[in-house]
Each structure stands twice: as structure tokens, then as C-alpha cells.
Amino acid sequence: RHIGPSASPVDRAKDVTMPAKLPVNFFSSGSPVTDFFQGQLDYAERIRQDSEVTFYFFYAPWCGQSITVREEIEQVARRLSDQVLFVAINCWWNQGKCRKQKHFFYFPVIYLYHRRFGPIEYKGPMNAAYIEKFVRRVMTPLLYISSRSKLLEFLSDYEPGVLGYFEFNASPQPPGYLTFFTSALHSLKKDYLGTIHFGVITNQQIAKEIPLTHSGSIYLHRHVNTSLIYPREVMNYTAENICKWALENREAFIHWLRPHGGKSLLLNNELKKGPALLLFIPFNPLAESYPLLDEITKVALEYNRCNKNQATEPAVPHLKETDSSPLESRMPDVHTPLAETFSITKYPCCNTVVLPQWYSISRTHNVCELCVNQTVGVKQSKVNLPQCNFLEIEAALDSFYLKEHTFFQVVSNTIECSNFLSYYSPFSYYTACCRTINRGLMSFISSEKTFFQTPKAAFSSHAKKCKVDTHSIPHIEDRNCLIPGSHIGGTNITGLSCRTNKTLNLYLLDSNLSWIYAERLGASQAIHTKEFAAIVDLQDEAHYIMDQNQALIKSTLGKVFSGAPITGG
């Protein structure tokens, strides 16, 4: 390090200093972005007055991030410059107006203005598609719902929707409309990913479908819980309040996680809420439709639909009556009685396992009783069978090997038990009770019984990854083995989130932005479709990944929730 003052020469050249270089153009002259490279904020403010929507890009010429984002901004500006004024301002140069008036802690900073409303700071991902999407939202904060089909489309969106009904026939602008419009802009300030959609209905017939009858009423659509009408009599009718009300009461059964790159506790806070299913999908914010997302939404909705009665109750009763409703197809088949499957049964199914010997000196053996415990069975018929399922015990055994190091410590005569699981299942867990016996007894046992080796084929993924098969395969005692037939193969997951105490929270991540997290969780780089699913359980310090060869579709997702084929990690 450098502590001592080094000898300073007595020389006039020592005092020579040089002011910072004069700023130069940051954007090229042909760019659709107007570049105030001398920080002329006053001038920028003046030309903003003539524009409906203005985009401000505050940069520092030395800042790496500003330089990287510059190209993205140009791309957006090329597409939207006929409707939006794009202004870049050097907010670093200390002689410039901007630096004198604004005090930024980082660069670049993006502000948006809709006429006089603003600034709305954009804090989302710094790539062209996301930025364009956000600019478009500022341009059109309210979606005009002109027809019934538009309404259905609006309501079927997985993201929360707020609808206002305003009659435009009387005066040029109905009372409260401006407030509602402003609240939509306001929500973009708080919710920079634009997750809440705002729509406006002007047609009385369409409004009745919801039903909204009074002009000025505002409606928050929810899929699982009952939808809400803005309580004007309790809360003042202000833009802030409407926005706050929508944010507080919105339903969020799917969360997008978009880490912004700066220091953040986002994952910490979300993952500490409990086990989380992270779905990585490539997402284009400008796409017309999202078929994969729709599938995921369906599964998530079913998973979260707790109350049977409520579930059957359509979200929009009036629409339900008309048969061709697209909403209908979104409704899960909830008429199958769920109550019957709620019976909680326990049927243990056990096998004895002898741990392989690592220390030849040792004269003892560790013997474990390995059990599969079923807490909840989904299919009634299977629950009645008291015997073990062959595949189940194999799976249990396999995961037992993975965790076997846990049991090596056991060298006492007391029996120690441990619960564990290798794949995420809300229904079952394994128990292993181990104790040490001496070798003499052991050899007796091993000569008595018939042995077989773990069928490696069935669980090859486990074996390969963890090199179980290079160990001496321990012997297992077989008992009552049945033909394969899993009781958890079904995808009936309706309301499952309420029936188990191992509820999964569902999160979406855009693989184009956050693929690094998928890689950290074990996603293969060879896979071309950037789709990946993993369950992360921070508390149990475990994560499970879905076989990447399976496409992320509804049926496989259903299995994920009910705990089917996922590899332990």
C-alpha cells in the first residue's frame, strides 16, 4: 500500500494541472437521439414542452454502462422517434446545467415524461426490447377496451388488470377519467416492470359484463380470489390511492424476477419465503402472444385454486353463460370432487440397507432401516395398498446413497433416524434409521437373503452423476415389490398449494437476462432452447432440477408441482 509521502521534487511542473477534456458528442450526428452533450438541461426542458412523450437519457461520458446502453437507446429511438422525443443529456460535465441541478449516484438514468406527468424513472433491464415496451406503456398507459373480445383478452392476462368504466357521451371528459389515467401513469413509477395493466371501457354494454354500471367505477380483476371494486366511499378518489389500492390488492401467484445487476436482496427475500419453483423462459416483452406463459399461468392458477366453490365460480359470471367464451377454457376442470383425495394416510414401506464398508479395520456395520412414508395420497385406490411400490423403494434407495455420507458418522449403538428426500415431493419423504451392529451378525443376514443390485437403468441419471455405482453396492432386502405404477404420476394438482404444507412459490425469470442463475443451478449449456426449471429450497439447502430434455409444457409442469421426475442436486 502507499502510506508514506514520497519525496516531492521542487519543481514548478509539479503544480501543472489540466482541466477535464471538453465534452464531445456522445451520440452520432445522424442519430434520432438529440444529444445535449454539454448538459443543456434548460434547453431540453424547453423542447420537451412540445412533445407528448419524452425520453431522457442522462449519461456520463466515462461510464461503461452508459456506453453499453447507448446502442440500445438508439435502437428504440429508431422505432419510436416519430411519436416520442428522445433526448440524451450529459449530466456529468460540471459546467453544464444538468450537473448543477441534478445529483445522480449512478449512470445512466432514464426518465420518461407523459406531457407534464413525470419523471417516471425506468429501472428495468437495459435492453432495447424492455425499454421499448416501457416507453410504449408510457405512451399508452390505458388500454382501450372497445369490444367484448378485447375485454376477454384483457382479463385472461396472467398479470393483474385494472379496469375503469367511463361514459364519454355527456361531457368531453367524464369526471374522474383524468385521475384514472394518471393513476395508470403513477403505477409505472412504482412498478417499473409494468406488471399491472390498466384498461378503460367506454361502452355501457361491455361494462355490464363485469359488471360495472356507474361511470367512474374502477375494477381490479383477480383470478383466484374475488375481484374488487374500488371503494370510493372509503378511500379518496386520487391517482395515488387508486394505484396503491391496485398494488396492494393485486394477485400475484406468478412473480417475475428481474435482478437489475446492482446490489440486491431480491432472491434472498423471495427464496426465504419458502421453496421456490424457478422457471427460466426466453421472454420477448414485445411479442404479441405468449403461449408458453399461458400454459404456465394455467398450471399456476390451478395450483393456487384453493377453495373448490370459489374455483367453480367464474371470474366473470355474465361471461360464463355464453358458451364460446375463451375464459371457459382457462377454467380448470374442477368438477371432480377433491375432498375424497384428502384422506391422510400413512403406510410405511421399509427396507433394510447395509452401508458399504470404507474402513477395513472397522469390525462393525452400519445398518439402516429405510422407509418411504406417505402422508397424502392423491389417488384413493393406490392408498389402500399396504405394500411397497418397487419403484418407490428404488428411488428411496437411490437417494439414500446420495446422502449416505450423512450416515457414516453413526458409530454408536443407539438408533438414529433422519428424514430426507431427493426429489421434491409434497406427499412422501424417506426415513432412515441407522445403527451399528458387529460383523458377525451381518454375515448371518447376508447369507440368508436373496440380493439384487440396483437397476441402474431406471435411475441412471443419479448413478452417473454421483458415481454411486463405483461404490460397493450395498445389499438390500427385498420385500413385496410391485410392478411399476406410480401413485403420483397424475397431474391433478388443482388446489394442491393449500393441501400440503410444502407450498411452492412460482417465479419466472427471463432466460435472456438471467440465464446465469440457471447455469448455476445446473442447466446444461448444450441445450439450445433456453428453458429450464428448478426448485430451490433455501432452508433445506437443496435444489432439484427438471430434466432438460422434457419440454416445459403443462403436463410436465403439473408433475413438477406434485413432485415427479426431478433430479436431486
Partner 1 sequence: KGHHLFQSLLCLTLERVKSMFYHAYNNYLENAFPYDELRPLTCDGQDTWGRYCADLRFSVLTLWILGNVSEFQRVVNVLQEGVDFDIDVNASVFETNIRVVGGLLSAHLLSKRAGVEVEAGWPCSGPLLRMAEEVARKLLPAFWTPTGMPYGTVNLLHGVNPGETPVTCTAGVGTFIVEFATLSHLTGDPVFEDVARKALKALWKNRSEIGLVGNHIDVAAAKWVAQDAGIGAGVDSYFEYLVKGAILLQDEELMSMFLSEKNYTKFDDWYLWVQMYKGTVSMPVFQSLEAYWPGLQSLIGDIDHAMRTFLNYYTVWKQFGGLPEFYNIPQGYTVEKREGYPLRPELIESAMYLYRATRNPTLLELGRDAVESIEKISKVDCGFATIKDLRDHRLDNRMESFFLAETVKYLYLLFDPDNFIHNNGSNFDVVLTPYGECILGAGGYIFNTEAHPIDPAALHCCRKRKEEQDGETQKDSAETTSEDNGGGMNSEKNRKRRIPLLSCSSQPFNSKLAVLGQVFLDNT
The contact set with partner 1 (CB under 8 A) reads 1-4, 6-9, 11, 13-21, 60-65, 67, 94, 104-107, 259-268, 271, 359, 361-362, 411, 514-517, 520-521, 525, 536, 538, 541-542
CA 237 – CA 216 distance, rounded (Å): 10
Give the residue carrying C-alpha cell 392423491. 378
In Å, what is the CA distance from 339 to each residue of 335, 342, 345, 549?
A: 11, 5, 14, 35
Q: Which three cell numbers stand for residue 534?
A: 428448478
Do residues 160 and 90 touch, judged by C-beta distance below 8 A?
no
State in angstroms the smallest separation of the CB of 378 from partner 1: 30
State in angstroms the smallest separation of the CB of 505 from partner 1: 15
Nearer to partner 1, 13 or 339 (CB): 13
Do residues 64 and 116 touch, judged by C-beta distance below 8 A?
no
Q: Which three cell numbers stand for residue 298?
A: 394455467
State in angstroms the smallest separation of the CB of 26 from partner 1: 11
Q: Mapping DSSP to helix (H, G, I), strand (E, B) and coil, where does residue 536 land?
A: strand
Nearer to partner 1, 95 or 225 (CB): 95
CA 472 – CA 364 distance, rounded (Å): 16
Nearer to partner 1, 260 or 318 (CB): 260
State in angstroms the smallest separation of the CB of 295 from partner 1: 25
Q: Which pairing describes strands 428-438 and 416-420: parallel, antiparallel, or unpaired?
A: antiparallel
Nearer to partner 1, 37 or 181 (CB): 37
Other CB atoms within 10 A of residue 298 CB: 18
State in angstroms the smallest separation of the CB of 105 from partner 1: 5
Do residues 557 and 536 touch, judged by C-beta distance below 8 A?
no
Nearer to partner 1, 53 or 546 (CB): 546
Nearer to partner 1, 15 or 248 (CB): 15
Phi, psi of 39 (to 5 degrees): 70, 30
State in angstroms the smallest separation of the CB of 4 from partner 1: 4
State in angstroms the smallest separation of the CB of 377 from partner 1: 31
State in angstroms the smallest separation of the CB of 288 from partner 1: 25
Give the residue carrying C-alpha cell 519543481. 11
Nearer to partner 1, 62 or 451 (CB): 62
Q: Which three cell numbers stand for residue 202?
A: 367506454
CA 445 – CA 441 distance, rounded (Å): 6
565 burial type by CB count under 10 A (0-12 exposed, 13-18 middle, 19+ buried):
middle
Do residues 346 and 374 touch, judged by C-beta distance below 8 A?
yes
39: left (phi over 0), alpha (psi -120 to 50) or beta: left
State in angstroms the smallest separation of the CB of 449 from partner 1: 28
Do residues 255 and 270 touch, judged by C-beta distance below 8 A?
yes
Beta-bridge partners for 368: 353, 434
- CA angle, 289 then 492 then 482, to 5°: 135
State in angstroms the smallest separation of the CB of 562 from partner 1: 24
CA 100 – CA 98 distance, rounded (Å): 5
Nearer to partner 1, 265 or 457 (CB): 265
Nearer to partner 1, 29 or 525 (CB): 525
Nearer to partner 1, 64 or 337 (CB): 64
State in angstroms the smallest separation of the CB of 357 from partner 1: 12
State in angstroms the smallest separation of the CB of 38 from partner 1: 14
Q: CA torsion angle for 218, 221, 225, 231 (degrees, to 10)?
A: -10
Give the residue carrying C-alpha cell 371501457. 201
H-helix or E-strand spanning residue 430: strand 428-438
State in angstroms the smallest separation of the CB of 203 from partner 1: 46
Q: SS3 letters for 368-420?
A: EEEEEEECECCCHHHHCCCCCCHHHHHHHHHHHHHCCHHHHCCCCCCCEEEEE
Nearer to partner 1, 170 or 526 (CB): 526
Q: Which amino acid is at 247?
A: L
Nearer to partner 1, 2 or 116 (CB): 2
216: left (phi over 0), alpha (psi -120 to 50) or beta: left
State in angstroms the smallest separation of the CB of 273 from partner 1: 14
Other CB atoms within 10 A of residue 438 CB: 11
Nearer to partner 1, 17 or 414 (CB): 17
Q: Is-cis flag, bond preceding 211, omega within 30?
A: yes
Nearer to partner 1, 6 or 289 (CB): 6
